[in-house]
Amino acid sequence: MLTTLTEENYLKAIYHISQTSKKGVSTNAIAKKIDAKASSVTDMLKKLADKNLITYIKYKGVNLTEKGRLTAVDIIRKHRLWEVFLVDKLNFSWDEVHDVAEQLEHIKSPKLINELDALLDFPTHDPHGDPIPDKNGQIQRTDKIVLSQASVGETYTCVGVIDSSSDFLKYLDKHQIGLGSKIHVIEKEDFDQSMSLEINSKTIVMSKSITNNLFVKKL
């Protein structure tokens, strides 16, 4: 059974929300992510349940079935491969790729995506540091932490961003911070959790709203 573009977007939203909360995914959470009204979401949940892509019990949250999870992960695989393509082959910067990838992820052609994978030399991560699921839906999880939880005195490598909005990515570009940047934690302010960091031999102070959006790994 083929999935429509809209159904695919719902599955992706449900998948992403379910990654952050363990419990069933609520109607309102989906509505917020999809930017639709809760009543529209309820309608769609019935359709997805009919297609055995989610388990849905009225008034309880929903969960992806294995079939639904595989469909969602396949869309995410395509999204991230296209983002790599745009950056590596078409000179896009990492803050320009998301919207185009949102369109490209719905193109249906297994050969297209397998060949793209090969053209890009089987990348494991997208331009924002997110892992690219393999053909079987397996995702390689790494032991990254959020920068706000890093320890004073330690040095880290930047391995990913959480917020990949253009504004945030441009802030990082301005300070020459990207994947692979070395970040040494000089000090952590108790009052507002802001951090003093040494990056590229310069000292920079970041507020909590920024350090909450960077993934790092201990060197």
Residue 135 to residue 2: CA distance in whole angstroms: 18
d(CA 211, CA 118): 35
Tell me the closest approach of the beta carbon of residue 34 to DNA, in angstroms: 7
Strands annotated E in 98-152: 145-146
In 3D, which of 70, 62, 16 has the Cα closest to residue 41?
62
Task: For residue 12, state whether it binds Mn ion (rule: CB under 5 A).
Answer: no
35-74 residues near Mn ion, rule: CB under 5 A: none
Length of the chain: 219
Among 1, 2, 22, 58, binds DNA (CB under 7 A): 58
Tokens, residue 107: 């193109």
Q: Which residues contact a second copy (rule: CB under 8 A)?
A: 86, 89-92, 96, 99-100, 103-104, 107-109, 111-112, 115-116, 119
Output 62 or 177, the one with its CB closest to Mn ion: 177
Least gap, CB of 36 to DNA (angstroms)? 4
65 exposure class (CB count in 10 Å sphere: 0-12, 13-18, 19+): middle
Pairwise CA distance, residues 57 & 184, whole Å: 48
User: Which residue of 38, 186, 205, 219 would you call a contact of DNA, by CB under 7 A?
Assistant: 38
Residue of the chain from 21, 28, 52, 165 that contacts DNA (CB under 7 A): 28
Residue 41 as a binder of DNA (CB under 7 A): the answer is yes
| β-sheet bridge partners, residue 187 | 196
The CA distance from 129 to 6, in Å, is 26
> Site for Mn ion (CB under 5 A): which residue of 17, 53, 128, 132?
128
Q: Which does 47 bind (CB under 5 to 8 A by kind): Mn ion, DNA, a second copy, none?
A: DNA
Q: What is the per-residue binding string for Mn ion in 81-100, x denoting contact by CB under 5 A?
A: --x--------------x--
| Least distance to DNA, CB of residue 31, Å | 7
DSSP 8-class letter at 145: E
Contacts to DNA by CB under 7 A: 4-7, 26-29, 34-47, 56, 58-59, 61
